[in-house]
Amino acid sequence: MARKGYGTILIARREERLDALAQELRRWAPSHALPTDLHDRAEVDQLAAALGHHRPAVRILVNGAGCARYLSTLDQSEIFEHLMWVNALAAHRLTCAVLPGMIEARAGHIVNICSMSAHMGPWGHSGYAASKAALRALTESLAAETYDAGVRVTGVYPGIVATEWFEQPTMPRLWERVARRAVPPERVARAVAGAIDRPRLAVYVPWFYRLLPFIAGASPQAAMRLVRAGSLPLQGSGGTIESRPSRGNAQAIPRGLTR
C-alpha cells in the first residue's frame, strides 16, 4: 500500500517493531505508528477516538488483529471472552469510529481479516472460530448497509498462515500437520492490496479455499469431518497435545490493523 502512495497509520502492541516498519514505509509515503494494546479496552477506546478525529480522515481500515489458543473448548472458558474482544469487538469499535467519515465522503473501504475458521470451526479453535464467525457476520451486514453509501467492505479468509502463533509451546505437533498448507503473511497482504484495488466481498487465500463454503452448504457433516481431520492434535509419545491454558496473555498472532 505504501508503495502505491497510500499514507499509513500502523497499530500494534510492540512499539519497537512498529517504529521500524513505519520508518521503512516512509520511503514511499507518510507513515505513523500508534502503539496500542488491543487487549486493553481503554486503549482501544482512546485509539477509536484518535482515528475518528484524524485528519485527513481515514479512508481505508484494515482490521487485522487476532489472537488464538489451540485448546479444547472446556479449556478455553477463561479466555473465550478475551478472544471475542480482540478478534471481533475491537474491530467493531474501530469500524464505528471511522465509518461516519467514510459515509459522509461517500468513499472508503473496510477490510476485515477473517479466517476459514469462520466457515467451519476446527478442533481446538472454538473461541477463535466463534470470534471470526462474528467478524464475518459483521463484514457481511456492514457490506449490505453501506453498499449505496460508497463504502466497500471486504472479508479476507486465509487458511493456515505462517506466523508466530506456531511458536507457542502446544503448537509444534499441529505445525507438523499443517506446515505444508501454510502461506506466508506477505501473500495475505497482497490479497488485501488486491481487494482494495478491485473491491470484492470475499477473498480467499489460497483461492481454492472458497470451495469449503460450497462443501459445507451441500454437506455440513462432510465439511466438519474434513476440517476436523486437518486440525486434530497429532499423537506423540506422550499422547495428545497438552491443552491447559497458561496464566499469561492469550496472544499468539502478531496484532495490528495492518499487515
Catalytic residue list: 128
Half-sphere exposure of 156 (CA within 13 A, CB side): 29
Q: How many CA atoms lie within 13 A of 215 on its CB side?
A: 15
Q: Is the peptide bond before 35 cis (omega within 30 degrees of 0)?
A: no
Cα distances (angstroms) measured from residue 47 to each of 41, 113, 151: 10, 19, 22
- What is the Cβ-side half-sphere exposure of residue 181, based on CA atoms within 13 angstroms? 17
List Cα–Cα distances, 29 to 6, 35, 64, 160, 251, in angstroms.
Answer: 6, 19, 21, 31, 30
Residue 109: Cβ within 10 Å count: 18
DSSP 75-106: GGTTTHHHHHIIIIIHHHHHHHHHHHHHHHHT
